A and B are shown apart, each in its own frame.
Chain A
Amino acid sequence: MGKKLTGGDIVCEALLNEGVDIVFGLPGGAILPLYGVLGRYPELRHVLVRHEQGAAHAADGYARASGKVGVAFATSGPGATNLITGLATAMMDSVPIVAITGQVGRAAIGTDAFQETDITGATLPVTKHNYLITRVEDIGPTIHEAFHIARTGRPGPVLIDIPKDVMQEEGSYDHERDRKIKLPGYRIPTTAPDYQIDAAVELINESERPVFLAGHGVIISRAFDELRELAEKAQIPVVTTLLGISGFPENHPLHVGFPGMHGEAYASLALDDSDLIIAAGSRFDDRIVGNVNEFATRSKKIHIDIDPAEIGKTVQVDASVVGNLKHVLGQIIPKVDRVSRPEWIRHVEQLKSDHPSLHIPETGNLSGQHVVRGLSNVTNGKAIICTGVGQHQMWAAQHYKFTEANTWLCSGGLGTMGYEVPSAIGAQLALPEALVWSICGDGGFQMTMMELATAVENRLPVKYAILNNNHLGMITQWQELFYMGDTQADAYTANPDFVKLAEAFGMKGMRVEEIDDVEDAIEEANAYPGPVIVDFVIEKVEHVYPMIPAGGSIKDLMEDTRV
């Protein structure tokens, strides 16, 4: 028999048994019964945010950096709806989060009660699964089930909505009893059947110009060593997706870069010139594929994914392997031939030198690329890098030379501006010893900058580099290129003074305007023991190149003509 506890106690006990040590949240009426007992569980550290979106993104940053499930609390109604952007961000990028929301009392559900929102209805499309608990005895089993679903298979966010009175009611909790999961409709792919492996191996062994398209799945399954071993054994160059960055070391000779809309031209060309693409834990996103009919027409495709529904969703493939990437690569390695492919490797090297997409145009003015290069140099490619969404994100992806596994955190699928501030807080809490740099847009930064107070309050030494172009730079770029130069609503003419803002929050603030000052400023920020904002005042209007317009193909590749 379990102990007698309130519903709120049961939530905390179950979270502790799931290994949770940090929760991000903000209280309100419907979730007060949970906050009311939180004091009894000092091992559960609660980080009070300034806005629930920040709680969801911080939980996301914590999850990506640690590989554990991130947890967020919010109250009913507006608290819960404020989580939605963060849940959608995590859903798109397969990040494990468990969100617990308070709900109005059971008797009031469906009556338009004060602060009532049908949050399970509203989050159906942006969660892997969700629950509305109606009985106190369901709390324990549901929390264990939710963690199981969030972290296994293709990970994702799970929301649990608990009415206020259920959290007040007395019930019992017994870990041994409540952790038993019965989910007949839920399967977690592990290894792949031999015939699928053999078909993939045959294609690899027959190919002359194979290339990996290694995605976020490499990081999620921690298949770093397997990817490297297979790439080396069969001499397969590795293109990563934007979210696959830091899945394969950038100082490795087989590393090629990321392809697609703003990827390195040579990575897109390597895909196009290949005769076999091995998509490993990547989902052929439209920012890579563009026009499906013109995508890598000369290559066969192998798709390795843990989610059977991804196979053939956008790109038709020649062989599919359903399973956990780490296991699948382990199954493939002993069966592939150890070969050298000097011609193909030389060809890829040639692409790299013919398309030095990453040269920085020398205008004499400070640009975003200079800042990222400086960061990469000073930190030796070893910092944890978070970003927002826009030009600064692309420059960070292009110019930072990631040498350590799982050090790149950004919102790829949803493209959520504002991710940069709270995600870095979550990452720093997950990795207290790590050097965390958030590369921010001035636009995105202002969407969530209230969370700086959270960083200060929790003594987190996060370093924020604002690539301040006083513009929604990516918007300016699209309007100039695709809307006949008619720029509208893209400029910020009254940004705050970010140095004073830093000081107002109790942080160190610095401003850099010259190329030559970049690295010194970064050193100084690194040496400072607390959180820092460096306001890098960069060129106002600058385009990110290379670029393949949305829905285009390699034929539409635009490169910077100034370099």
Chain B
Amino acid sequence: MTSQSKFEARTVTALVEDRPGVLARIAGLCRRRGLNIASLAVGHSEQPGLSRLTFVLEGPPGVVNHCAAQLERLVNVIEAKDITNKNHIWRELALVKVATSKETRVELLELSRVFRANVIDIGVDSMTFELTGGREKIDSLITLLSPFGIKEVMRTGRVAVLRSTLFEGEDDGEFQATRNWVNGLQHEYHFEPGVSGSV
């Protein structure tokens, strides 16, 4: 293993064109810069033809910080934001299939209530929980379920959004981040939108 301990994790969201090959371009860029895609979630966005991605990237600090700017260079990427230091909320979803018997079933159901996990499937010798939340919450449930015998864990990547502001005119720190000429962070500039006739 490389010195992964020196790696830093960043949460990046991106709005991208929904067409073949786009993910390959993004993955290629991460690979080139030696970044590990720790998790990835992709789905349609609110705008037709565009998808939204959330990924958690791990890599050396100087490199991983720079990733959003590099992603924006891709023609099919409409915008990419490193939201790690911004006020955001995020969730993961996990499906956990655990071994059961008559003796353990009640205890497992009790656990699921505490964690507000849904039971979505019950069989003779196993049941499956559905849980959403932060990573720690999901990790804790898995730890507590382990003694019963976990058969399968399926976790989605993280999905994230910036928090709304509570008061008019207040910003969540994002404005500041783009106004400062922070090395490796996003830069503001004037531009011609790429929608005109050819120049």
Q: Which of B24, B72, B76, B189 has the most CB of A within 10 A?
A: B189
Query: Are the CB atoms of A190 and B190 closer together than 8 Å?
Result: yes
Determine whether A196 belongs to the interface, using a CB cutoff of 8 Å to chain B.
yes
Task: Identify the closest chain A residue to B79 (Cβ).
Answer: A185
A-B contact count (CB 8 A): 111
> Residue of A at shortest CB range from B75?
A129
CA of A463 to CA of B153, assembled, Å: 69
Interface string of B114-151 (1 = CB under 8 A from A): 00000000000000000000000000000000000000
Q: Which residue of B lies closest to A320 (CB)?
A: B181
Q: Which residues of B contact A120 (CB under 8 A)?
A: 21
Asked if A184 and B194 sit within 8 Å, CB to CB, the answer is yes
Contacts of B16 in A (CB 8 A): 185
Indicate whether A121 reaches chain B with its CB closer than 8 angstroms. Answer: yes
In the assembled complex, B73 has its CB within 8 A of some CB on chain A: yes
Separation in Å of the A138 CB from the closest CB of chain B? 12
Give the contacts of A205-238 with B (CB-CB under 8 A).
none
Interface string of A100-134 (1 = CB under 8 A from B): 00000000000000000000110011001100100
Complex Cα distance, B187 from A192, in Å, reads 10
The contact size tier of chain A is 35 or more
Q: Please name all residues of chain B whose beta carbon is closer than 8 Å to the beta carbon of A187 when the two chains form the complex.
A: 189, 191-194
- Tell whether A179 is near chain B: CB-to-CB under 8 Å: yes
A262 at the interface (CB under 8 A from B): no
Q: A313 interface residue, CB < 8 Å from B?
A: yes
Identify which of A185, A190, A313 contacts B75 (C-beta below 8 A): A185
State whether A309 touches B72 (Cβ < 8 A): yes
Decide if B110 is an interface residue (CB 8 Å cutoff): no
**Residues of chain A contacted by B112 (CB below 8 angstroms):** none
Across the interface, name the chain B residue whose C-beta is closest to A187: B191
- Segment with Cβ contacts to B, from A146-154, A361-369, A546-554: A146-154
Nearest CB of chain A from residue B35's CB, rounded to whole Å? 14
Q: Is A323 part of the contact surface with B, judged by Cβ < 8 Å?
A: yes
Who on chain A is nearest to B27 by CB?
Answer: A124
Whole-angstrom CA separation of A465 from B87 in the bound complex = 62
Q: How far is the CA of A183 from the CA of B50 in the complex (A)?
A: 12
Convert B49-78 into 0s and 1s, putting 1 for each residue whose CB lies closer than 8 angstroms to a CB of A: 010000000000000001001101111111
The yes or no answer to B32 lying at the interface (CB within 8 A) is yes
Whether B183 contacts A316 by the Cβ 8 Å rule is yes
* Residue of A120, A183, A317 ringed by the most chain B CB atoms within 10 A: A183
A319 in contact with B181 given A193-B189, A308-B69 (CB within 8 Å):
yes
Interface residues of chain B, those whose CB is within 8 Å of chain A, are: 16-17, 21, 24-25, 28, 32, 50, 66, 69-70, 72-79, 179, 181-199
Known: A312-B182, A317-B183. 9 other contacts (CB 8 A): A152-B199, A181-B196, A190-B190, A308-B69, A311-B69, A311-B183, A313-B66, A322-B189, A323-B189
The 5 closest A-B pairs by CB, nearest first: A312-B183, A183-B194, A186-B194, A322-B189, A187-B191
